[in-house]
Amino acid sequence: MGYIDRYNRDENTVTISRVGANAGFVSFISSKFYLNDKCFSVIPFTDVQDKISNKYLFYYLKSIEANIINLQSEGGVPTINTSKVSNLQFPIPCPDNSEKSLSIQAEIVQILDSFNELSTELSTELSAREKQYEFYRKELLAFPNNDLEE
């Protein structure tokens, strides 16, 4: 919506769009930002905050994004009620051992980050190949304007 020199959320925060066509869309914001009323941030309850990585939480919520989108209320403008999302539960590996749990989560995040990076690279490569194909197709099918009325 624009830039502002103030923020009300810290970096590495998970957000979910609350209103509109993208209601239910899960994002990860890696810099400080100002949260408006069009989305909400997902912050684990205090008793589990030290047991969960925000990036791990993001990937889990992203994996169930379709379910979150299905929480939209009926009506003219799609909306997601925060109380519906606040009841979502997610798995924490080794919940009784915070150190081991965070280590496992970090490994999962590292693997998924790598897949995302590869996916981005592949998408970029595919886009370049499609442009290349389009260029050569036009070149090969561009025949000189022959006068056929001789």
Q: How many structural domains are present in the chain?
A: 1
User: In this prediction, what percent of the chain has a pLDDT beyond 90?
Assistant: 49
Q: At what angle do helices 54-63 and 98-141 cross, to 10 degrees?
A: 60
Range of the domain at 55: 13-141
Q: Does residue 102 fall inside a structural domain?
A: yes
Q: How many angstroms separate the CA atoms of 91 and 63, rounded?
A: 12
Q: Does residue 146 fall inside a structural domain?
A: no
Q: What is the pLDDT of residue 55?
A: 96
SS3 call for 23: coil
Q: Does residue 99 fall inside a structural domain?
A: yes
Q: Does residue 94 fall inside a structural domain?
A: yes
**Helix H or strand E segment including 39:** strand 39-42
Q: What is the pLDDT of residue 106?
A: 95
Q: How does the average pLDDT of the chain come out, rounded?
A: 88
Cα distances (Å, whole numbers) of residue 133 to 13, 52, 116, 122, 141:
40, 46, 25, 16, 12
Residue matched to tokens 């693997």 = 111
Residue 112 sits in a domain of what CATH number?
3.90.220
Q: Does residue 68 fall inside a structural domain?
A: yes
Q: Does residue 31 fall inside a structural domain?
A: yes
pLDDT in tens, 66-101: 999 999 987 788 899 888 888 888 888 888 888 999
